[in-house]
Chains A and B, each alone.
Chain A
């Protein structure tokens, strides 16, 4: 069984400040982790993924995420938030079984204010 937890339903941050969106996971074997962003009434857009290698992964739009195996976490970060970053963010973990099934977290609403 695998699972993902996003402990915060909403994160508020001022524009220009750093942001962090938290994600922890549980999976058998090695985890393959993904971050997606969703704007209102749209599909999900891929931001970045961790498969293996460097624990700090860089992705689209200046986002990055840090894989921490001991804490089973994969937090999404950005050094300086923009109002346009306001959206719903999903963390996902890949199944170790067939089909590349992803299990998604419940999402975190990020609100960046002026």
Chain B
């Protein structure tokens, strides 16, 4: 899983609570990504950031929020507005500016369960 850490590994949330998933990388990568993985659906992009203090919505951003105050950190908040948050969440990073064809490196993931 390279130099990307995600915490916690498992997270349980009660309905109506916001929770924040941590993602840290020490690879000095410019871009960072959050994906959601559900069985049989592959990975779907939630948010991504190419530089500090800038981020864009992905395909399923509703009910989520992010920040990118530091190059190495890209936390994801799952808000109470996300109606079906139980999933496996993956963070990734990539070297180089937009247009480079470098591969993304993934963290080990956080499994979020709503009780």
Residues in A lying within 8 Å of B, measured CB to CB:
9, 32, 34, 36, 41-46, 49, 51, 90, 94, 98-102, 104-107
Complexed CA–CA distance, A42 and B43 (Å): 13
Question: In the complex the two chains form, is A107's CB within 8 Å of B42's CB?
Answer: yes
Given A43-B1, A90-B42: A101 in contact with B106 (beta carbons within 8 A): no
Question: In the complex the two chains form, is A105's CB within 8 Å of B48's CB?
Answer: no
Determine which of B31, B103, B107 lies in contact with A46 in the assembled complex, contact meaning CB atoms within 8 Å: B103
Complexed CA–CA distance, A51 and B1 (Å): 23
Q: How far is the CB of B100 from chain A (nearest CB, A)?
A: 7
Q: Is B58 interfacial (CB 8 A cutoff)?
A: yes
Interface pairs (5), CB distance under 8 Å: A43-B6, A43-B109, A45-B106, A46-B103, A100-B94
Interface centre among B6, B99, B101, B111 (most CB of A within 10 A): B101
Question: In the complex the two chains form, is A100's CB within 8 Å of B42's CB?
Answer: no
Given A32-B101, A42-B1, A90-B43: A99 in contact with B50 (beta carbons within 8 A): yes
Across the interface, name the chain A residue whose C-beta is closest to B6. A43
Complexed CA–CA distance, A8 and B58 (Å): 26
Determine which of A32, A41, A98, A104 lies in contact with B42 in the assembled complex, contact meaning CB atoms within 8 Å: A104
Complexed CA–CA distance, A36 and B103 (Å): 10
Determine which of B31, B58, B107 lies in contact with A100 in the assembled complex, contact meaning CB atoms within 8 Å: B31
Across the interface, name the chain A residue whose C-beta is closest to B58. A101
Complexed CA–CA distance, A70 and B106 (Å): 31
Question: In the complex the two chains form, is A99's CB within 8 Å of B109's CB?
Answer: no
Complexed CA–CA distance, A85 and B92 (Å): 23
Q: Is B98 interfacial (CB 8 A cutoff)?
A: yes
Across the interface, name the chain B residue whose C-beta is closest to A45. B106
Complexed CA–CA distance, A46 and B104 (Å): 8
Complexed CA–CA distance, A9 and B42 (Å): 11
Beyond A43-B92, A101-B58, 20 additional pairs, beta carbon < 8 A = A41-B88, A41-B109, A42-B1, A42-B108, A43-B4, A43-B6, A43-B90, A43-B108, A44-B43, A44-B92, A45-B1, A46-B103, A46-B104, A49-B103, A90-B42, A98-B50, A104-B43, A106-B40, A106-B41, A107-B40
